[in-house]
Structure 1
Amino acid sequence: MYFLVMAQDKPGALERRLEHRQRHIDYWVGQGDTLKVAGAMLDSDSADAKPIGSSFLLEAENESAIRTLIAGDPFSTEGIFSEEIRIQPVRPAIGEWLPG
């Protein structure tokens, strides 16, 4: 099953986010096929937009597994993510990466 995750940062967390960014990336790269796509949520659509959270498309057996993964993310363990983490089951239907 697939899950769309939107994890909002705490206000004023930008400096800490940047400090722990590589650990965050390494953590998700280490999750292998679970991670389908991920990236920063931005405060605007301008060229100098700042990250305000993270979004993920993940594949896992259930929501509990997703919550465990998010809890292990350095942005969670370092207190960068707020409690505003939305986890929504989704059914992707179109995309080059989907099995035929």
Structure 2
Amino acid sequence: MPLFALICRDKPGALQIRQDNRADHLEFLKTGQIFIAGPLIEDGDMRGSLVVIEAEDLAAARTWAAGDPYAAAGLFESVQISEWKKVIG
């Protein structure tokens, strides 16, 4: 199954939205075929997310990403989803 990288950038000043929805987001991550996941850090604070998932295709990856509680809470300024290939590591 192909891998897809989701690069999600938080809206400026949205750290409280992230913190308020973090538990639901972490629970949601258990519903997917997660390869790796973690926050993007800027100036010591979480400012985005990098998630690599297994999905049948780009449409399935987009559908999964839309179900993230962070997305529903309006946390993200942008979400980029691209097919990704593991080469090293």
* TM-score above 0.5: yes
Q: How far is 1:55 from its partner?
A: 0.4
Q: State the identity %.
A: 33
| Distance in 2 of aligned mates of 1:60 and 1:75 | 19
Structure with a larger share of its residues in strand: 2
Instruction: Output the amino acid matched with 1:92.
Output: K
Q: How far is 1:90 from its partner?
A: 1.4
Instruction: Output the amino acid matched with 2:70.
Output: F
TM-score under structure 2 normalisation?
0.92
1:62 matched residue in structure 2: 57
Gaps of 5+ in 2: none
> Who wins on radius of gyration, i.e. which is larger?
1
Q: Secondary structure at the match of 1:19?
A: helix
How many equivalent pairs are there? 88
Counterparts of 1:1-100 in structure 2 under 5 Å? Answer: 1-31=2-32, 34-44=33-43, 49-82=44-77, 84-95=78-89
Instruction: Output the amino acid matched with 2:21.
Output: H
| Distance in 1 of aligned mates of 2:12 and 2:66 | 19
Gaps of 5+ in 1: 96-100
CA RMSD between the two structures? 1.0
